[in-house]
């Protein structure tokens, strides 16, 4: 014979927990975890920072092209980031001149030499718009073209429309 | 989708002795929130500043710091200012459990990139719309 009371208890426990249990569950502390998987964790190298800063520069440029607002700190961070990327791209391009470029090399970033020229151009144009110089239509078109070529070489897991906070300054 | 609103005059501190990583974090956060970002290269300086000038809304710290390490800093900050969000980052998997025990709100495993930092801003710095909270009645 089925014990109706115990079935009811069981149902309440498994399907519809009491309200206070739900509240307690919501209050349970859960630490957010982001970044590399445990097996891939390691110290950040210069190449990691270069690629991350380049991705940031792409986002900054796309935000500008989307006419998202700038502010004094945003302008400052664009200038700082563009300068870092420009200097690093110059050094990486010099390394290729010095050591030669091996298309099949597995270590390092190993982008084509022309990639670094494109990155330098992107950084210079970013500096220009961060300083308030307006880019004429043909320059914006060139900027977009350059940006798209760079984006083909680096990958993103989010689109700019996912970052709603960039639409306010 | 509604437009995001960043917490007014949000104060964020970044504590890391690796200047290259610290500057990258600062550039990304400064761009995201359009505010000045406080920077420190060791836990002791950060703690002294917080005690004297008030606690920020968010502290991002490397676990590996001089004098007061990131874990001890988390414990002290959470005790003195429970509302401050603390994010710890590290290159050692074992530090994840230690960060949780100290009350860290988030753990960032190195190497990390722009997406992870944007995710932190979206989670902790953007004001949540009450309509998005499932516990709020319609």
pLDDT (tens digit per residue) in B90-115: 999 999 999 999 999 999 999 999 99
- In total, how many domains does chain B have? 1
Rounded distance between C-alpha atoms, residue A92 and residue B79, angstroms: 46
Distance from the Cα of B119 to chain A's closest Cα (Å) equals 8
Residue B7 within a domain: no
Minimum-distance CB partner of B116 among A34, A81, A156 = A34
Look at B121 and A23; give whichever has higher pLDDT.
B121
Determine contact: B80 vs chain A, CB below 8 A.
no
Minimum-distance CB partner of B34 among A29, A73, A163 = A73
Residue A29 within a domain: no
Reply yes or no on whether the pLDDT at A4 is more than 60: no
pLDDT bracket for residue A2 (50, 70, 90): very low
Residue A32 within a domain: no
Residue B127, both tokens: 């004001």
A165–B126 CB contact, under 8 Å: yes
- In total, how many domains does chain A have? 1
> A57: exposed, middle or buried (C-beta count within 10 Å: 0-12, 13-18, 19+)?
buried
pLDDT (tens digit per residue) in B59-78: 999 999 999 999 999 999 99
Give the CATH number, domain containing residue B46: 3.40.50.2300
Minimum-distance CB partner of A36 among B36, B110, B119 = B110
Segment 28-67 of chain B within 8 Å of chain A by CB:
28, 30-36
**pLDDT over 70 percentage in chain B:** 89
pLDDT attached to residue B104: 97
Cβ proximity of B125 and B57 under 8 Å: yes
pLDDT bracket for residue B133 (50, 70, 90): low
Full DSSP string of chain B: -PPP-BPTT--EEEE-S-HHHHHHHHHHHHHHH-S-EEEESSHHHHHHHHHHH---SEEEEESS-SSS-HHHHHHHHHHH-TTSEEEEEES-TTHHHHHHHHT-SEEEESS--HHHHHHHIIIIIBPPPGGG-TTS--
Peptide bond into A139 cis (omega under 30): no
- What's the whole-model pTM score? 0.82
Helices (H) and strands (E) in chain A, counts: 6, 1
Determine contact: B127 vs chain A, CB below 8 A.
no
What is the ipTM score, two decimals? 0.89
Look at A25 and B8; give whichever has higher pLDDT.
B8
B34–A53 CB contact, under 8 Å: no
Please tell me which residue of chain A has the smallest CA distance to B112. Answer: A35
pLDDT attached to residue B130: 58
Residue A17 within a domain: no
- Residue written as tokens 């700082």? A80
Determine contact: B118 vs chain A, CB below 8 A.
yes
Supply the range of the domain harboring residue B76. Answer: 12-127
Residue A45 within a domain: yes
pLDDT bracket for residue A24 (50, 70, 90): very low
Residue A128 within a domain: yes
Residue A146 within a domain: yes
Task: List chain A residues with CB under 8 Å of B128.
Answer: none
Reply yes or no on whether the pLDDT at A13 is more than 70: no
pLDDT attached to residue A93: 84
Task: List chain A residues with CB under 8 Å of B5.
Answer: 168
Supply the range of the domain harboring residue A106. Answer: 38-167
pLDDT attached to residue A101: 61
Residue A99 within a domain: yes
Rounded distance between C-alpha atoms, residue B110 and residue A54, angstroms: 18
């Amino acid at each position: 014979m089925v014990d109706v009371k115990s079935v009811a208890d069981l149902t309440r426990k498994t399907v519809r927990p009491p309200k206070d249990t739900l509240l307690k569950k919501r209050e349970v502390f859960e630490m957010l975890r982001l970044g590399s998987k445990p097996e891939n964790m390691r110290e950040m190298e210069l190449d990691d920072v270069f690629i991350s800063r380049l991705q940031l520069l792409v986002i900054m440029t796309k935000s500008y092209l989307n006419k998202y607002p700038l502010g004094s700190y945003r302008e400052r961070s664009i200038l700082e980031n563009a300068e870092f990327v420009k200097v690093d791209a110059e050094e990486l391009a010099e390394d290729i001149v010095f050591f030669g470029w091996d298309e099949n090399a597995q270590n390092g970033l190993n982008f084509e030499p022309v990639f670094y020229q494109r990155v330098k151009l992107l950084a210079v144009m970013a500096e220009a718009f961060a300083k308030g110089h307006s880019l004429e239509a043909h320059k914006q078109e060139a900027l977009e073209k350059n940006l798209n070529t760079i984006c083909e070489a680096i990958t993103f897991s989010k689109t700019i429309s996912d970052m709603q906070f960039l639409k306010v300054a | 989708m509604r437009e995001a609103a960043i917490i007014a005059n949000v104060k964020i501190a970044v504590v890391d002795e690796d200047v290259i990583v610290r500057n990258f974090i600062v550039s990304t956060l400064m761009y995201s929130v359009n505010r000045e970002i406080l920077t420190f290269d060791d836990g002791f300086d950060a703690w002294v500043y917080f005690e004297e000038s008030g606690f920020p809304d968010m502290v991002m710290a490397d676990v590996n710091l001089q004098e007061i390490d990131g874990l001890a800093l988390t414990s002290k900050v959470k005790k003195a200012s429970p509302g401050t969000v603390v994010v710890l980052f590290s290159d050692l998997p074992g530090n994840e459990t230690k960060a949780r025990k100290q009350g860290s709100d988030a753990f960032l495993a190195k190497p990390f990139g722009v997406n992870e930092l944007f995710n932190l801003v979206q989670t902790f710095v953007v004001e949540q719309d009450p309509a998005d909270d499932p516990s709020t009645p319609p």
